[in-house]
Structure 1
Amino acid sequence: MTHRLPSAAPLLTPSRTAVLEGIAGYVPPDAVANDALPAAWGVDDAWVRRRTGIGERRRAAPGVTTGDLALEAAGRALSAAGRPPVDAVVVATSTPDRPMPAMAPRLATRLGLGGPAAWDVSAACSGFVYGLAAAVGAVTSGCADRVLLVAAEVYSTLLDPQDRSAGLLFGDGAGAAVLRRGAPDEPGAVLALDLGSDGSGDELIQVPGGGALERSRPGEFGPDDRYFRMRGHDVFQHAVTRMTQSAHTVLKRADWAAEDIDRFCAHQANARILSAVGARVPVPDDRQVTNIARVGNTGAASIPLALADAAARGELQAGHRVLLTAFGAGLTWGSAALVWPELPEVPGIDGTDGTDPAVRTPLV
């Protein structure tokens, strides 16, 4: 059964919403080009690019965790926003450093933010959009005037070395956004949201072991069950359908037509999915925000990484109408609409500043 918010549901109050005031991303400096993939996989650069659109993906160095990447992206986003006070921290990830506790409280402490509300969101590749909805909810309810939203993944820790299909796609990285309380008519305001799920497809994208299910059923799971598994063909069909439907729902809620979209940023799953969704919305290729060729599929981090990368390159301009959409394990999906604001200079996403986030001191 699919659960969806009614199309007429009043998602945002007329008086306030969350407004984007800073964004940044971070990918580790170590790149794995297609020509450096294991010879046993039997692939070359042309084959991988043709099937996925990916030229390289980034890998965190040994000992560098999801929390470390989150720290780097969050610090950059806060600096870009002028290091304002933060009332809440939301971390979207499906590769947390530990099953318990949540990563957000520790991140807030490492950033020197005091004692804000802090929690994690687990919606896999839909995590940033779900986290955006959580940030909007915190602001519109009056629980927070400013939210730091971080999406971070180290998928390299979940990949089976023998699984070519996943190994081609996934990379490590983090993206972060700072959102403040503001009015819906301000540039940067989140204007409309849509979220959905279908738990009947929970086995299409999963890590079967490592949780309470494995612990409660000794003998049913093996070491390989702690690796990421995905049924690619089925996922492709669901991803294209769900993201397209969700995008249309948000367009209706924002009172936009497809031709009003200046920039379309979908979850960077693979190039064929991006092309299929773009054709169905429809959005011309030259209005699509994408950096999958350089960083691969970075899960929940893919949308903020793509946005930060585009902003740093000057491809996102103040006044652009931006549509976001994502799909991930669960199954989950979601979309959002906003008008891009005038932002301070956005730093590049590449980890080329010589800083090792594994040993970085708190950003106080």
Structure 2
Amino acid sequence: MTMLRSVVVGCGSHLPAKVVTNDELSQRVETSDAWIVQRTGIRQRHIADAGETTSVLGTRAARAALDDAGMGPEDIDLVICATSTPDHTFPSTATQIQAALGIHQGAAFDLQAVCAGFVYGVATADKFLTTGGAKRALVVGAETFSRILDWTDRTTCVLFGDGAGAIVLEAREGEGTSADRGVLNASLRSDGRHREKLYVDGGPGSTGTTGFLRMEGKEVFRFAVGSVTDVIAESFRATGTTPEELDWFVPHQANRRIIEASADKLGIAREKVVLTVDRHGNTSAASIPLALDVARKDGRIREGDLVMIEAIGGGFTWGASLIRW
């Protein structure tokens, strides 16, 4: 039985030029390169300059994805931007990306699920495309987390970076099997009882300020490894596939230890794990599309490969999607 699938036809990314190493951070807060690498795997991160807003980074990544797909603004009728660091309270960052690209048709909106935002964005775009609500979608993950960091808090400021990544999805007919190219499954979860473990202590409706990121690192680690693998297992069950069939595991790039422990728990071989956390740090909703673009450009991810994306974010929100590239 034929059915519509959301097929990845383009991929792009953008990172700010400014790179901040662990040694540079050790001059600002009490930390060291060895301490950061041992606990997180991070060696450096990119930090946006004053003029590099989230929409600027997102636009550059989206334009690269359009170029990769061989498409122009007239081909896109849906723009979704996953971000927790929008340029403004409103209008949405997605509409600013839409305007900057010269897209004048269709819909554009932001989606906020913190680090799981890109997975949520892919799942949302998939619903539009497979139900006839749109033909081609830009899904962007863009963040300037450096703007909401307390640079005196060594437990959080060493973890995050800025950047953006994007993919172009196109509705195409498939046979309705796991051999189809495109999004095969998406499993999403959230549990708002965990707010205090990872949140920003401000907002227009509460304090009237931007606020700073606050995190209980041990609790986040425990939950990430112990609980969020359910969505990955569900994706395998729903598609009738197994970890052995997976070509690439592209998780949210927050912490190397979390990534490796999750892969081990699920029986995913470590050589199938795409890691960019050492170069990018945690770029929240941008981390997965950044990693996808790296692995595609260096030749690892190829057409027909079975790719799993997975993330957990504040809230908690978490999710996974299985994609045939």
Pick the TM interval, shorter chain: over 0.9
Residue 14 of structure 1 and its aligned partner are, at CA, apart by: 5.8
Residue 86 of structure 1 and its aligned partner are, at CA, apart by: 0.4
**Structure 1 position 298 matched with structure 2 position 283:** yes
SS at match of 1:253: helix
**Structure 1 position 201 matched with structure 2 position 194:** yes
**Structure 1 position 276 matched with structure 2 position 266:** no
Q: Which residue of 2 aligns with 1:50?
A: 38
Q: Which residue of 1 aligns with 2:229?
A: 244
User: Which residue of 19, 22, 38 corresponds with 2:10?
Assistant: 22
How far does the alpha carbon of each residue in 1:86-119 deviate from its partner, in whole angstroms, 9 at most, with x for none? 0110000000011112111121111001132111
**Structure 1 position 31 matched with structure 2 position 24:** no
RMSD of aligned alpha carbons: 1.5
- In the alignment, the residues of structure 2 paired with residue 172 and residue 129 of structure 1 have an alpha-carbon distance, to the nearest angstrom, of 18
How far does the alpha carbon of each residue in 1:323-347 deviate from its partner, in whole angstroms, 9 at most, with x for none? 111100121001001122xxxxxxx
Mean alpha-carbon deviation: is it higher for 96-105 or for 69-78?
A: 96-105
- In the alignment, the residues of structure 1 paired with residue 57 and residue 239 of structure 2 have an alpha-carbon distance, to the nearest angstrom, of 33
Structure 2 length-normalised TM: 0.95
- In the alignment, the residues of structure 1 paired with residue 69 and residue 180 of structure 2 have an alpha-carbon distance, to the nearest angstrom, of 15
Q: Which residue of 1 aligns with 2:172?
A: 182
**Structure 1 position 76 matched with structure 2 position 64:** yes
- Gap runs ≥5 in structure 2: none
Residue 201 of structure 1 and its aligned partner are, at CA, apart by: 0.7
- In the alignment, the residues of structure 2 paired with residue 42 and residue 208 of structure 1 have an alpha-carbon distance, to the nearest angstrom, of 23
SS at match of 2:99: helix
User: Which residue of 89, 106, 110 corresponds with 2:100?
Assistant: 110
- In the alignment, the residues of structure 1 paired with residue 211 and residue 149 of structure 2 have an alpha-carbon distance, to the nearest angstrom, of 9
* Cα pair 1:109 1:115 within 8 Å, conserved: no
Q: Which residue of 2 aligns with 1:161?
A: 151
Q: Which residue of 2 aligns with 1:129?
A: 119
Residue 173 of structure 1 and its aligned partner are, at CA, apart by: 0.3
Q: Which residue of 1 aligns with 2:49?
A: 61
- In the alignment, the residues of structure 1 paired with residue 165 and residue 2 of structure 2 have an alpha-carbon distance, to the nearest angstrom, of 29
* Cα pair 2:26 2:33 within 8 Å, conserved: no
Residue 168 of structure 1 and its aligned partner are, at CA, apart by: 1.0
- In the alignment, the residues of structure 1 paired with residue 181 and residue 44 of structure 2 have an alpha-carbon distance, to the nearest angstrom, of 31
- In the alignment, the residues of structure 1 paired with residue 322 and residue 4 of structure 2 have an alpha-carbon distance, to the nearest angstrom, of 15
- In the alignment, the residues of structure 1 paired with residue 8 and residue 44 of structure 2 have an alpha-carbon distance, to the nearest angstrom, of 30
* Cα pair 2:135 2:171 within 8 Å, conserved: yes
How far does the alpha carbon of each residue in 1:145-178 deviate from its partner, in whole angstroms, 9 at most, with x for none? 0001111000000000111111111000000000
Runs of 4+ in 1 over 6 A off after TM superposition: none
- In the alignment, the residues of structure 2 paired with residue 321 and residue 73 of structure 1 have an alpha-carbon distance, to the nearest angstrom, of 23
Q: Which residue of 2 aligns with 1:148?
A: 138
Output the amino acid matched with 2:8: L
Distance of aligned partners of 1:255 and 1:200 in 2 relative to their CA distance in 1, 3 Å threshold: same
SS at match of 1:41: coil
- In the alignment, the residues of structure 1 paired with residue 245 and residue 103 of structure 2 have an alpha-carbon distance, to the nearest angstrom, of 39
Residue 202 of structure 1 and its aligned partner are, at CA, apart by: 1.6
- In the alignment, the residues of structure 2 paired with residue 336 and residue 124 of structure 1 have an alpha-carbon distance, to the nearest angstrom, of 16
Q: Which residue of 1 aligns with 2:163?
A: 173
Residue 318 of structure 1 and its aligned partner are, at CA, apart by: 2.2
Distance of aligned partners of 1:135 and 1:61 in 2 relative to their CA distance in 1, 3 Å threshold: same
- In the alignment, the residues of structure 2 paired with residue 36 and residue 14 of structure 1 have an alpha-carbon distance, to the nearest angstrom, of 55
SS at match of 1:212: coil
- Gap runs ≥5 in structure 1: 1-12, 216-222, 341-364
Q: Which residue of 1 aligns with 2:324?
A: 339
SS at match of 2:227: helix
Structure 1 length-normalised TM: 0.85
* Cα pair 1:183 1:189 within 8 Å, conserved: no
**Structure 1 position 258 matched with structure 2 position 246:** no
Identity across the alignment (%): 39
Residue 15 of structure 1 and its aligned partner are, at CA, apart by: 1.2
Residue 239 of structure 1 and its aligned partner are, at CA, apart by: 1.4
* Cα pair 2:161 2:280 within 8 Å, conserved: yes
How far does the alpha carbon of each residue in 1:264-297 deviate from its partner, in whole angstroms, 9 at most, with x for none? 0110011111011011112111110111111111
Q: Which residue of 2 aligns with 1:310?
A: 295
SS at match of 2:232: helix
